[in-house]
A and B are shown apart, each in its own frame.
Chain A
Amino acid sequence: SQTIHQWPATLVQPVGSPLSLECTVEGTSNPNLYWYRQAAGRGLQLLFYSVGIGQISSEVPQNLSASRPQDRQFILSSKKLLLSDSGFYLCAWSYQGADTGELFFGEGSRLTVL
């Protein structure tokens, strides 16, 4: 069966510090991978998606970046965090070419920037 895992689950970081969130998928090959941010009272905001190794599409210009060094690994990074980067970050995957496009989410990472 397929599983998705992201970490860390919770982190508190000072403004200006770097960030690295990691996500891995097991049990499937060549998945589509996504990073979302969820702010209170707002819909899920797509940050990045990837259809293959080294292929990253950015949906929102910001101080975050993403990388996909391996087929089932997706990393969200920042060199210098802003207060506005606080939120709940979700990694997700879907099957390539799936009719329904159903997303499978990781457990989420809650980031607080102070």
Chain B
Amino acid sequence: GQNIDQPTEMTATEGAIVQINCTYQTSGFNGLFWYQQHAGEAPTFLSYNVLDGLEEKGRFSSFLSRSKGYSYLLLKELQMKDSASYLCAVMNSNYQLIWGAGTKLIIKP
């Protein structure tokens, strides 16, 4: 089967750095996405990785290793507004998006 694994919940302190991991097993690979979803709201796009390496976008970075079936989202200089769920999704060889259950990130002052 196909599955995406990410931690259910993480807690971090305002101003700190947090890394959210995602491992995947899918039938083929055509890219990995990270979305942010605040409670009760729709997901919004954060990043897309299709080649190995690190993609940096402001305070957020996303890393991909296709050989290991692994990605992480790195959030720096955490702010209270970063409290949200972070969804990892992989596009397989049929261009279907397989979604993880999301990681709820709690930021404490």
Q: Which residues of A contact B (CB under 8 A)?
A: 41-46, 90, 100-108, 110
Looking at chain A's contact residues, the main secondary structure is loop
| CB of A17 to closest CB in B, whole Å | 23
Whether B48 contacts A102 by the Cβ 8 Å rule is yes
Binds A, one of B12-20, B58-66, B68-76, B90-98: B90-98
Residue in contact with A43 in the complex, picked from B41, B42, B99, CB distance below 8 Å: B99
Whether A90 contacts B42 by the Cβ 8 Å rule is yes
* A100–B43 CA distance with the chains assembled, in angstroms: 16
List the 4 shortest-distance A-B pairs measured between CB atoms, nearest first: A43-B99, A105-B42, A44-B99, A43-B101
Look across to chain B and name the residue whose beta carbon is closest to the beta carbon of A59: B96
Most buried by A among B31, B42, B43, B101: B42
